[in-house]
Amino acid sequence: FALLPHKTVLENIAFPLQMKGADTQGSIQRAASMIELVGLGGRENYFPRQLSGGQQQRVGIARSLAVEPDIWFLDEPFSALDPLIRKEMQDEFLRLQGMLNKTILFVTHDFDEALRLADRIAIMKDGIIEQIDTPANIVLSPSTEYVARFTNDVPREKVLNCQNIMEKIGDNVDLSDFRVRKDALIETVAEAVLNESKPVPVVGDNNEIIGVLNNKTIIHTLFGKNSTGPLDTSQTTDK
């Protein structure tokens, strides 16, 4: 994680600010606020050797954010972590992403990680971008054979959300009281929808009903022919 072993957590995070010429007091205050942001309060005076791998990664994240970059660039930040800590750090990344409202460029060789974290994915081969698109479109409509190799084994429910497969609301339809958000992944709502006997409303950003899900659509998504391959996207809504 490129932490300086002879410096404390606080000093490591303040280091790039001091290299930019910031005054010591301002650097320390900024570093302290970053420590709280990444959940390392109380460990300001720890040295890297006293931290777990996940905690060391949090220090690295805090240090990269301390300089307030316009674009936050992360190059395989979680690749050296074991699976449990990696999942924890992915959750932390998503939390920070929701708070910071920054453009983030995240490099990874883990396609599952890209699907989980990205709004848009760029797949490269030999320095050339093969496809840039949403996770759902990458999986459902790979533009090249190379991209298709990444997506062959990806279950559709992991990338499709409710808006992708919802249907229009018919006239005089008796709807379920249960509702799902348009951006909820199918894998997170499938069981609940299947337990409903009536069509389930899909709601938008203002909690207005924009479509419905029914059991047949969910079952087709989960178990239909080629359920880990391309889906006929002509029946999905515009993303």
Per residue of the chain (239 residues), what is the pLDDT tens digit?
789 999 999 999 999 999 999 999 999 999 999 999 999 999 999 999 999 988 999 999 999 999 999 999 999 988 878 888 888 889 989 888 888 888 999 999 999 899 889 999 999 999 999 999 998 889 888 999 999 988 888 888 888 899 989 999 888 889 999 999 998 999 999 999 999 999 999 999 899 999 999 999 999 888 865 444 444 444 444 44
Apex 226 CA angle, 220 and 230, nearest 5:
95
Please give the helix or strand (H or E) that residue 40 lies within, else none: none
Question: Is the pTM of the predicted complex or chain greater than 0.85?
Answer: no
pLDDT reported for residue 50: 96
Q: Count Cβ atoms within 10 A of the Cβ of residue 134 and give its class: 0-12 exposed, 13-18 middle, 19 or more buried.
A: middle
For domain 157-235, the CATH architecture is Alpha-Beta Complex (3.90)
Report domain 9-107's class.
Answer: alpha beta
Burial (Cβ within 10 Å: 0-12, 13-18, ≥19) of residue 118: middle
The single-letter code of the amino acid at 42 is G
pLDDT of residue 145: 94
Per-residue pLDDT at 121:
96
Predicted confidence at residue 61, as pLDDT, reads: 92
Q: How far apart are CA 135 and CA 172, in angstroms?
A: 35
Residue limits of CATH 3.90.1280.20 in the chain: 157-235
Return residue ranges of the chain for CATH 3.40.50.300: 9-107
Q: In angstroms, rounded to a whole number, what is the distance separating the alpha carbons of residues 151 and 135?
A: 10
Amino acid at 141: S
- Is 156 exposed, middle or buried (CB count within 10 Å of its CB: 0-12, 13-18, 19+)? buried
112: part of which helix (H) or strand (E)?
Answer: helix 111-117
**Residue 52, exposed/middle/buried by CB under 10 A (0-12, 13-18, 19+)?**
exposed
Phi/psi at 210 (nearest 5 deg)? -115, -5
Number of neighbours of residue 198 by Cβ within 10 angstroms:
14
Strand blocks (E) in 82-192 = 103-107, 121-125, 128-133, 180-181
Residue 30 in tokens: 């900024």
Distances in whole angstroms, Cα of residue 133 to Cα of each of 115, 121, 144, 162, 226: 11, 6, 13, 18, 21
